Structure 1
Amino acid sequence: MACHLRFENPDVNMLLSHIETQLDHMVISALIEAALRLLPPDDTPEGRLEAKERMQRKMERAHLQEVAFVDQVRKFGYQLLTESEQKNHHLRSTPDIRFIQPVSINGQLCHWIEFKNSFGFKSNPFIAAKNKKQLQRYSSELGSGAVVYKLGFEIDHIVAPGIHSFREEEVLDFLGQQLNIDTTPVYAHVP
């Protein structure tokens, strides 16, 4: 439906008026954003500027969510290096989290976590292939790890040895419960 309505510049409420769903509003918003990317680009100077500003806002929101996730894991007491800390140590591979000691997440041994402030679609071959290549590099260099999606993911969207997929909420719940800590997430305010 998001693809069908993309020419009308839909928002979440417009889409909800056409469908019945239990999906979270953030997931619906991500679906609308994906559908809008199917529109031909506005190649006017104003259109290019608007696209650039939209991408900048998206990157800022993603960074805030990533920082909030990493801070929550660190708050639980796990010893880790952030991506920027790894870069300061001149490490070659720099996932969002590199655990000092591997951590078990839902029975899966994880040396690292890569956070994605999105929904993991396998139907987007460019992004899925790019993510898979990045995650396989981490796995081959650092050992098994996890990709954590803020909004969830399609089953079997990334199938590769040593790479496990989780939703943000389940990882935070699991990591907090392992240490018997309050798992109420601390989210960054996203405009």
Structure 2
Amino acid sequence: MMAARRAVICMQIYQDAALIIESQQYRRDCLQLLAKKFPLIPQETLLSIYSQRYQQHTKQVHHAHRQAMKEYYDQYQSRNACQESSESLLLEMANEILFSPALFARMILEEHIRRNNLIPVETAASSIVSQWVKSPHLIQDTALQHQVRQCILTDTNYGPLGENLKHSVGHQYEFLLLEKIKELRIPYLDERDLSSRGYDKTPDIKLEVPIAVNGHIVNWIESKASFGDELNHNKYLDEQFWSYTNRFGSGLVIYWFGFVQELDVHEKQGIMLTDHFPPRSTITLLAN
């Protein structure tokens, strides 16, 4: 059963989608199956759910893959030495073990540095790896350089490309929020204003004059360019939202890509969830 708004889905539908993603071993082409199974759910919502499940899975298996880093490097060296070696070897190896290509490339680079004594002992290999991932042309081994670049460019969840995409989308929706607030001509403070006043944990927008949305007072608004699942929402509650309510009073969280309907249970405690900026007809301006 779907909620009134397409991006707000019940827990059962979310769990069904998560099961499909898991059954397809977190491959990106599972998005096609999700679209067929849930035609009424927006594509950006399905993509956000997939990305979050993928990242949660990656965090769970990351340590085990790091433990096997030396073995992976030996395999890479052996396969790379073959005449039939693929120019996309690193990417293929990452896909074979169902692991993030960008993170896999980082591990291979780290082991490559250690095996070849490319930096002084006192220098952290991870710091050099970060430089090489951002600027692959610094890698002197041209074959490795090419393969690392492939891993980075195809990985939309990790690495510089993925991070840039996430930041870009986040800024896009923060800008949209600001435009909506300005249209209402409501005085507000943003994160920079609040930080300059000494606040350490700040919402995206603090309204200097509260508004009411469907009768509920809103003192602050937080923009999340993601889907609100149970794991991330509970983390945000502990690390952000409760602090905002304790300091500024009740507020509004916008999960632009939707959320699990059953999570919207803290309205009486001052945290209201939505998947869009409230329409003007639902907003009461408490002062001009």
TM-score in terms of structure 2 length:
0.53
Alignment of 1:114-153 (within 5 A): 114-122=222-230, 124=231, 127-133=232-238, 134-153=240-259
Q: Which moved more, 1:147-156 or 1:46-55?
A: 46-55
Find the residue that maps to 1:113 and give its secondary structure. strand
CA 1:158/1:137 → structure 2, altered by over 3 Å: closer, same or farther? farther
Answer whether contact 2:257 2:275 (CA < 8 A) is retained: yes
- Is the CA contact 2:24–2:30 (under 8 Å) kept in the aligned structure 1? no
Q: Give the CA deviation at 1:100.
A: 0.6
1:44-123 to 2 correspondence within 5 Å?
44-45=105-106, 46=148, 50=155, 51-53=158-160, 54-122=162-230
Kept in 2: contact 1:115–1:148 (CA 8 A): yes
Residue 24 of structure 2 aligns to a residue whose secondary structure is: helix
Letter in 1 for 2:243: R
> Shift in Å at residue 158 of structure 1?
5.3
Q: Give the superposition deviation at 1:104.
A: 0.3
Higher helix share: 2
Amino acid across the alignment from 2:236? N
Task: State the identity as a percent.
Answer: 20
Deviation of 1:94 after TM superposition, in Å, equals 1.7
Q: Which whole-Å CA distance do the structure 2 matches of 1:7 and 1:113 have between them? A: 33
Cα distance per residue 1:16-38 (max 9 Å; x no partner): 24x24200111111122123322
TM-score by length of 1: 0.77
Distance 2:168 2:270 in 1: 30
Q: Deviations over 1:45-102 (max 9, x none)?
A: 2357852221232122112211221222122211111112222333344211101111
Aligned match of 1:184: none
Structure 1: runs of 5+ lacking an equivalent? 180-191
Q: 1:69 to 1:97 in 2, by over 3 A?
A: same
Aligned mates of 1:75, 1:95 — CA distance in 2:
20
Q: Which amino acid aligns with 1:98?
A: K
- Verify the 8 A CA contact 1:80 1:100 in the aligned structure 2: yes
> Structure 1 residue 44: deviation in Å?
2.4
Moved more, 60-69 or 111-120: 60-69
Q: Deviations over 1:99-137 (max 9, x none)?
A: 111110121101111111111111x2xx22321021000
Counterpart-to-counterpart distance in 1, 2:200 and 2:171: 21
CA contact (8 A) 1:109 1:145 kept: yes
Match of 2:54 among 18, 36, 40: 36
Find the counterpart in structure 2 of residue 154 from structure 1: 260
| 128-137 or 45-54, larger mean C-alpha shift | 45-54
Q: Whose radius of gyration is greater, 1 or 2?
A: 2
Gaps of 5+ in 2: 1-19, 59-98, 107-147
Farther-moved stretch of structure 1 (135-144 vs 31-40): 31-40
Residue 65 of structure 2: aligned partner? none
From the superposition, tell whether residues 153 and 16 of structure 1 become closer, same or farther in structure 2 (CA, over 3 Å).
Answer: closer
Letter in 2 for 1:65: Y
What's the C-alpha RMSD, in Å, of the aligned pairs? Answer: 2.5
SS of equivalent residue, structure 2 residue 199: coil
Q: How far did 1:14 drift?
A: 5.2
Q: Distance in 2 between matches of 1:92 and 1:35?
A: 30
